[in-house]
Amino acid sequence: MKFAVLGGTGRIGSRIVQTLTTDGHEARAHARSTGVDLLTGAGLAPALAGADVVIDATQSPTTDDTSADFFRTATANLLTAADAAGVQHAVLLSIVGVDRVPDLGYYRAKVLQEELFKAGPLPYSIVRATQFFEYIDEIMSWSTQGRTVRLPTTLVQPIAAADAARALVDIATGLPLQGVRDVAGPDAIPLDELGRITLAAHDDGRTTLTDDTAGPFATASGDALIPATGGHTGPTHYRDWIRTVTGPVPHPTCETW
C-alpha cells in the first residue's frame, strides 16, 4: 500500500513513516520542509498522487483558539485534495479526551478537526492517543518555577510514541473505522506522581509540588484524559521507558504549519 503522511517529519509522524516502511509499505513524509503547504494547498496534489491512504499527524503552530482557524483551512484543503487524488482512507491522529476538556482552546480546535473528517468526502479513521512519554518533560515545563515543578493530580495514561505509531499503522492498513479508536499506555498515573517518577529517574534535583490549579491539564477533571473502554493499550510501561533515556528527557519535535 502507498501512504502519504502529513506531518511525517515530526516525532510521531516520522515513527509512523518508519513503521509503515518496516512493514513493507511505501510511505512518504510530507511537511512544509518538503514543499507541502496545507494552508494554501501548494504541493498537495503531487504529495497525494497515487496514495491509497493519507495520514494527518500535523499540529497547529498555535495552541490557543486561533488553532481552530488553522485546522479549518488545513483540513478542508487536505480532504479536498485527497478526494481528487482518489485516496481511499483518511486517518487522523487526535487526542484522548479532546471532547471532554472544553476549557482548552486547542482541544476545542481538535474537536472541530475531527468533525471535518467525519463530514468529509472520504472513509475515515480517527485515532486518539494519550500524551506521549516524550512530551512529559515539556508538560512539566509549563508549570515550572525555578526549582519547583507544580503539577495537578489529574489522571493521565501516557503512551510511548513508538507504541502509538504502531497502533495507528495497524488501523491505517485496515478498513476505515468510520469512527474513533483510543490508544494509550498500560498505566494510569496522576500527573504529579508522573513528575516525581521522571525527576527521580534522571536524578533531577527539582521538587514536584501537588497543585490542582497548575498548568492547562488542571482543567481536566476525573478521568477526562483516560481512554474509553475498548481502546488499544500499548505494551511499554513509563517506568521502564524512562530508565532507558539518559540525560534530560528529550523535548519533542513536531511538524507545525
Q: Could you report the per-residue pLDDT of 191-222, keeping only the tens digit for each?
A: 999 999 999 998 999 999 999 999 999 999 88
Is 60 exceeded by the pLDDT of residue 250? no
Cell of 22: 518496516
Residues with Cβ within 8 Å of residue 156, at least 6 apart in sequence: 130, 131, 188, 189, 190, 191, 194, 217, 225, 226
Q: Pairing between strand 155-156 and 189-190?
A: antiparallel
Q: Kindly state the percentage of the chain with pLDDT values over 90.
A: 88
**In the chain, what is the greatest distance between 2 CA atoms, to the nearest angstrom?**
55
Is 90 exceeded by the pLDDT of residue 22? yes
| pLDDT band for position 249 (cuts 50, 70, 90) | very low
Is 60 exceeded by the pLDDT of residue 251? no
pTM: 0.93
* Domains along the sequence of the chain with CATH: 2-243 (3.40.50.720)
Is 90 exceeded by the pLDDT of residue 257? no
Q: Pairing between strand 148-151 and 144-145?
A: antiparallel
CA 147 to CA 165: how far, in whole Å? 34
Model pLDDT for residues 145-175, shown as the tens digit of each residue? 999 999 999 999 999 999 999 999 999 999 9
Model pLDDT for residues 55-81, shown as the tens digit of each residue? 999 999 998 889 999 999 999 999 999
